[in-house]
């Protein structure tokens, strides 16, 4: 049991470590490279042994529920475009940890309660997907939106779920297999700030931990106004138990803007890394579910030490204040400052940091890898040391 699966966290019906899910996935056919970030299989679509392929699935999770709150309060449909972008980015950024396809085929899956979610929301989701795809074009990445399914299933979903899948082919000799080594440095790339290709400040929240963030930060009135955003099996003390309104200001941003900031894509940067440094990086990790502990799925006899983490961006400061959670729990749920980390040698680390600067993505050496008898992770947060 990881700290994220402690009884309190579990009572909200979520799991950061997803042990049950990993067990079920273990029944699937073995992928080509057991530590590559995405599951790669032989390219059965062409039968060409020089290539691999993947079909990846991911979604916006309960960030869609938060968007629902905002949209109900304000009528602002554009929030759904952000959710569509979240779904695209949660998929592309997983895929680009593994390789750098030029062409990706996207399919969306929406399950909605038609009593509550009208066609205008579906339109905004489609438009947001097309916009997110268009924003990748200048970087030579072509995301083709090929369709999907929208089901009206009010007996199954309270409001809606928004998911998508990405299919692509990758040359087998251009894959990052995640062979992390003792001696590697770890470069972290900020999830917050404003890159050259973003139109506004990004809080860095991403798409993980939103069930907790929503309940911990927001006031009880949201539960009263929108009971359809709450699992009635959850302990009432854990429901919307924060002190904020969505319209409150925190660190010069509204709480809504902080929590609903669309997930930053690292694709422009990752494309350059694959192009120029593929033979020099030993691992690329997308710190999504499991936050800063994600790397534990990709190592055996190593001790990952992260002792120079980013200062806490405001959104996570807000969540920490409101939730009063431990560092250990927070860093196992949220990215807390960087959603991408690359494992490499020192000279490469400096080059990657310079590369990121060109996109105005803050980057730094956040730690290093030592040898160990068992997989270990140690974070240094302020003066505290946290072990996983």
Q: Which residues, 163 to 182, sit near a second copy by CB under 8 A?
A: 163, 165, 167-169
- The residue (of 230 and 365) whose beta carbon lies closer to a second copy is 230
Nearest C-alpha neighbor of 94 from the set 206, 244, 185:
206
Query: Taking CB under 8 A as the criterion, which residues in 25-84 touch a second copy?
Result: 25, 27-29, 31, 38-39, 41, 44-46, 53-59, 61-62, 64-65
Which residues does 141 contact at the CB level (< 8 Å), separation at least 6? 92, 100, 101, 102, 104, 267, 271
CB of 33 to a second copy, least distance (A): 13
Q: What residues between 316 and 375 interact with a second copy by CB under 8 A?
A: none
Q: Which is nearer to a second copy, 189 or 240 (CB)?
A: 240
> x/- site string to a second copy, residues 192 to 211, per CB under 8 A?
-------------------x
Does 119 contact a second copy by CB under 8 A? Answer: yes
CA distance 187 to 334: 18
Q: How many other CB atoms sit within 10 Å of the CB of residue 206? A: 29
Task: Select 11 or 280, whichever has its Cβ closest to a second copy.
Answer: 11
Pair 82, 97: CB distance under 8 Å: no
Q: Which residue has the tokens 């062979």?
A: 179
Strand partners, 376: 303
Structure tokens at 198: 């973003």
> Phi and psi of 357, rounded to 5°?
-60, -35
Binding status of residue 140 toward a second copy by CB under 8 A = no
User: Is residue 235 within the footprint of a second copy (CB under 8 A)?
Assistant: no
- Mapped onto helix, strand or coil, the DSSP state of residue 35 is coil
Q: Is 230 in the site for a second copy (CB under 8 A)?
A: yes
Contact with a second copy (CB under 8 A): which of 92, 98, 111, 261?
Answer: 111
Q: Is 51 helix (H, G, I), strand (E, B) or coil?
A: strand
Among 6, 73, 139, 152, binds a second copy (CB under 8 A): 152
Give the binding-site size for a second copy (rule: CB under 8 A): 84
Check binding of 105 to a second copy (CB under 8 A): yes
């Amino acid at each position: 049991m990881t700290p994220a699966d402690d009884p309190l966290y579990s009572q909200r019906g979520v799991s950061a470590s997803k042990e049950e899910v990993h067990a079920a996935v273990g029944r699937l056919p073995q992928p080509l490279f057991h530590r590559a970030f995405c599951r790669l299989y032989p390219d059965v679509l062409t039968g060409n042994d020089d290539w691999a392929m993947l079909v990846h699935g991911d979604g916006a999770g309960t960030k869609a529920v938060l968007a629902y709150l905002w949209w109900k309060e304000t009528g602002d449909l554009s929030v759904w475009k952000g959710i569509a972008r979240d779904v695209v980015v949660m998929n592309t950024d997983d895929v680009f940890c593994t390789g750098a396809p030029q062409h990706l085929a996207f399919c969306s899956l929406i399950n909605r309660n038609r009593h509550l979610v009208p066609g205008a929301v579906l339109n905004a989701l489609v438009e947001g997907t097309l916009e997110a795809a268009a924003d990748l074009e200048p970087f030579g990445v072509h995301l083709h939106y090929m369709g999907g399914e929208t089901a009206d299933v009010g007996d199954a979903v309270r409001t809606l779920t928004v998911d998508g899948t990405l299919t692509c082919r990758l040359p087998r000799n251009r894959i990052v297999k995640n062979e992390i080594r003792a001696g590697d440095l770890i470069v972290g790339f900020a999830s917050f700030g404003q890159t050259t290709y973003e139109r506004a400040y990004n809080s860095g929240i991403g798409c993980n931990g939103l069930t907790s963030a929503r309940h911990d930060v927001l006031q009880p009135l949201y539960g009263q106004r929108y009971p359809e955003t709450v699992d009635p099996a959850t302990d009432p003390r854990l429901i919307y138990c924060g002190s904020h309104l969505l319209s409150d200001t925190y660190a010069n941003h509204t709480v809504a803007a902080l929590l609903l900031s669309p997930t930053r894509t690292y694709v422009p940067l990752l494309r350059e890394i694959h192009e120029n440094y593929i033979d020099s990086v030993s691992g690329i990790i997308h710190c999504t579910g499991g936050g800063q502990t994600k790397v534990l799925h990709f190592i055996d006899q190593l001790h990952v030490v992260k002792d120079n983490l980013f200062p806490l961006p405001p959104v996570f400061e807000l969540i920490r204040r409101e939730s009063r959670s431990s560092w250990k729990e927070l860093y196992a749920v949220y990215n807390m400052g960087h959603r991408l980390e690359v494992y490499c040698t020192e000279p490469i680390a400096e080059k990657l940091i310079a590369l990121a600067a060109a996109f105005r993505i803050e980057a730094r050496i956040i730690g290093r890898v030592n040898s160990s008898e068992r997989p270990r992770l140690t974070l240094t947060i302020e003066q505290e040391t946290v072990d996983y």
